Amino acid sequence: MRVAVVMGSTSDLVKLVDMIDFLKKYDIQVDVRALSAHRAHDALASFIEDTKTNGTEVIIAAAGKAAHLPGVIAAMTTSPVIGVPIKGSALDGMDALLSIVQMPAGIPVATVAIDGSMNAGILAMQMMAIKHDNLKAALIDYKTAMTNSCLAANEKLMEEYK
C-alpha cells in the first residue's frame, strides 16, 4: 500500500504533516516530495514515471496560487490524483481551488477543500480500500469513532441545556 504526496513547495508541508502521519499510522508507505510543476518539471516527470512501477496506488498533490501541480501530474498518469488547494496568496486559496477543480475533460483531479489534506488522505484510503480489506476495516473503525465522539458531544450538550 503506497501513496505519493507531492507538494509544490516545502512551505506547503505544514498543511500536510497530519495527513502524512495519518496514512503512516495505517502502515501505508508515503513517498513525500516537493517538486514544483513550474520549477522542477523534469524531476517531477521522473518521479511520476517511478510511481507507475513502484506500487503507488494514489497520488496526492498539494499546491497553492496557480496550482498546476495536480493537473500536470494527472496528465502524466492513469493513477488517481487528489488535489489539495493550499491557501497561500492574497486570494486565500480560491485561486488554487479553481485551478485544481477546473480541469479539462479527460484529465480528472479529485479535489478537496482548501487546506483539506486530511480529507485527501481519507479519500486515498477509501480508494485503496477497494483492494485492501484491512484499510476498509480501519476506515469503518475510524468513522465509528467519529460517530461515537459526535454522539458523546451531543449527550454532553443535552445534559448541559436540560
What lies within 8 Å, CB to CB, of 157 at 6+ separation is none
Which is nearest to 44 in space by CA: 8, 80, 95, 2? 8
Domain boundaries, the chain: 2-131, 133-162
Q: Considering the domain 2-131 in this protein, what is its CATH number?
A: 3.40.50.1970
What is the chain's pLDDT, residue by residue, as a tens digit (162 residues)?
999 999 999 999 999 999 999 999 999 999 999 999 999 999 999 999 999 999 999 999 999 998 999 999 999 999 999 999 999 878 999 999 999 999 999 999 999 999 999 999 999 999 999 999 999 999 999 999 999 999 999 999 999 998
